[in-house]
Amino acid sequence: MKNLQIDISNIKVFVDKNAVNQLQPEIKKHHKAVLDKTGKGNDFLGWVDLPSSIDKHLISSIEKTAKSIRDKAEIFVVIGIGGSYLGARAVIEALQDNFAALKSRKNPYIIYAGQNIGEDYTAELIEVLDKYDYALTVISKSGTTTEPAIAFRILKNHLEQKYGKKEAVQRIIAITDKAKGALKKLATDEGYQTYVVPDDVGGRYSVLTPVGLLPIAVAGFDIRKLVEGARVVEEMNKKSSSFSENPIALYAAARNALYSSGKEVEILVNYQPNLFYLTEWWKQLYGESEGKEGKGIFPAGVNNTSDLHSMGQYIQDGRRFLFETVLSVEKPNRELRIPTDKENLDGLDYIAGKQIHEVNHMAELGTTLAHVDGGVPNIRISIPKVDEYYLGQLIYFFEMGCALSGYTLGVNPFDQPGVEAYKTNMFALLGKPGFENETARMKKYLK
């Protein structure tokens, strides 16, 4: 089967070929450090061999649990934030019918909660859950994150009122640390079915653990194919770090060479609306992994052709500190052609009979050429189609690409010290016990 491919020919006018090639020894060194688990943050490298070493019993258990949820729930609520929901959402939204909410389905409709603290969002969600049979998973590796904890407290009450305590327990699955955290304690005390987030896998690298696999399986997608796609790329990566054989190494080198030449913003571009959340997942992966110590490429995303009518102007003509990475899909899963029209008032008869995808593809090609002409280097990553197998390939590609890039940048791509600052201020402002000194310091902001 064909694999994901990369094309960096459209960065060559901007960076010297040597600037990429000169990074080969360094990438080789980081590639070895990741595989040998000797680099920075090496206690969080469990994702590296996850696809090839995943426990087959775990997969079967997840499939069995997913089936029992599918048998009784019309809606499955995934409670989690950041790495505890974006991977699942990226895969589910890429694979599901764009109008699934409005069509009859064999599988539960997946709804997300605890990824914001919007009161209206949660209140409106409750109104929906009043009307449908549902089950939920609460996902938090630390087991102490505020946003999902608030959502879970509310939905746990709702479930218990709707179904009674005993049945509510049957409708809750906790995914958390094997031993520590408030969620683990609650799950043990209440008797919830539980899956473990491995110690050595951080949130944003956890999509191929139960964190991603359970929601994806409940939504009705083939988690074995997803893991298999990732495994193939894991194998390919293991064999070599040479640019000619390993597109991940080339991606890491190309984006670092562009960064060194002043291209500080990378825009992930897609032309398929159902890849919106893949971009959101990628933004978290790269933003949280690389943006530290005053360094890092800023990860942005656009969804074309929609955003060609908004951000397109800036990309074509604004400040020249951007480069684009296009996620190109060779073939759609459906076929729909543009009809002929006798009147031809819209002047579209020159494309009558063509598949819509052909037009989309020409928009992609035309945009790439225009943006390169306008001073925006372009990396192209292509997959034959959007399915579980190729999404698995992309997941591993981007995870490993992030590790190699982060090491090349000189940071630890597996920690996130910067996310604590807002939490400390929020806790202090809310008067959380233990934050008394900070609360006193912040009093002036509450006036």
8 A C-beta contact, residue 123 and residue 317: no
Residue 371: active-site member: no
Residue 145 interacts with ligand PA5 (CB under 6 A)? yes
Residue 138 interacts with ligand PA5 (CB under 6 A)? no
Return the number of the residue (3 or 142) whose C-beta is nearest ligand PA5. 142
Q: Binding marks (x or -) toward ligand PA5, 61..90, rule CB under 6 A? A: --------------------xxxx------
Question: Count residues contacting ligand PA5 (CB under 6 A)?
Answer: 14
Beta-carbon count within 10 A of 243 CB: 22
Secondary structure (3-state) at 444: helix
Residue 184 interacts with ligand PA5 (CB under 6 A)? no
Residue 228: active-site member: no
At 48, phi and psi to the nearest 5?
-60, -45
Residue 108 interacts with ligand PA5 (CB under 6 A)? no
Residue 214 interacts with ligand PA5 (CB under 6 A)? no
How near is the Cβ of 148 to ligand PA5 at its closest, in Å? 6
Residue length, the chain?
A: 447
Residue 198 interacts with ligand PA5 (CB under 6 A)? no
Cα distances (angstroms) measured from residue 96 to each of 12, 68, 107, 219, 333: 37, 20, 11, 8, 11
Residue 309: active-site member: yes
Strands 322-329 and 5-10: unpaired
Return the number of the residue (81 or 379) whose C-beta is nearest ligand PA5. 81
Return the number of the residue (66 or 86) whose C-beta is nearest ligand PA5. 86
In this structure, what token pair is assigned to residue 14?
């901007």
Return the number of the residue (89 or 141) whose C-beta is nearest ligand PA5. 141
Residue 156 interacts with ligand PA5 (CB under 6 A)? no
In this structure, what token pair is assigned to residue 201?
């896998």
User: What is the distance, to the nearest Å, from the Cα of residue 91 to the centroid of all Cα atoms in its chain?
Assistant: 8
Residues 109 and 92: their CA atoms lie apart, in Å, by 10
Closest CA to 41 of 30, 51, 26, 50: 30
User: Using alpha carbons only, how large is the chain's radius of gyration in Å?
Assistant: 23
Return the number of the residue (87 or 247) whose C-beta is nearest ligand PA5. 87
By CB under 6 A, what part of segment 275-294 binds ligand PA5? 288
CA-based end-to-end distance of the chain = 63
Q: Among 39, 198, 203, 247, which residue interacts with ligand PA5 (rule: CB under 6 A)?
A: 203
Q: What is the DSSP string of 338-400?
A: PPP-SS-TTS-GGGTTSBHHHHHHHHHHHHHHHHHHTT--EEEEEESS-SHHHHHHHHHHHHH
How near is the Cβ of 340 to ligand PA5 at its closest, in Å? 50
Residue 416 interacts with ligand PA5 (CB under 6 A)? yes
Beta strands in 11-105 (DSSP E): 75-79
Residue 202 interacts with ligand PA5 (CB under 6 A)? yes
Residue 140 interacts with ligand PA5 (CB under 6 A)? yes
Residue 204 interacts with ligand PA5 (CB under 6 A)? yes
Among 67, 165, 423, 443, the one annotated catalytic: 423
Among 288, 324, 388, 399, the one annotated catalytic: 288
Q: Binding marks (x or -) toward ligand PA5, 237..276, rule CB under 6 A? A: ----------------------------------------
Percent helix / strand / coil, the chain, rounded to 5? 55, 15, 30
In this structure, what token pair is assigned to residue 143?
């087991």
Active-site residue list:
288, 309, 423
Q: Residues in the site for ligand PA5, rule: CB under 6 A?
A: 81-84, 140-142, 145, 148, 202-204, 288, 416
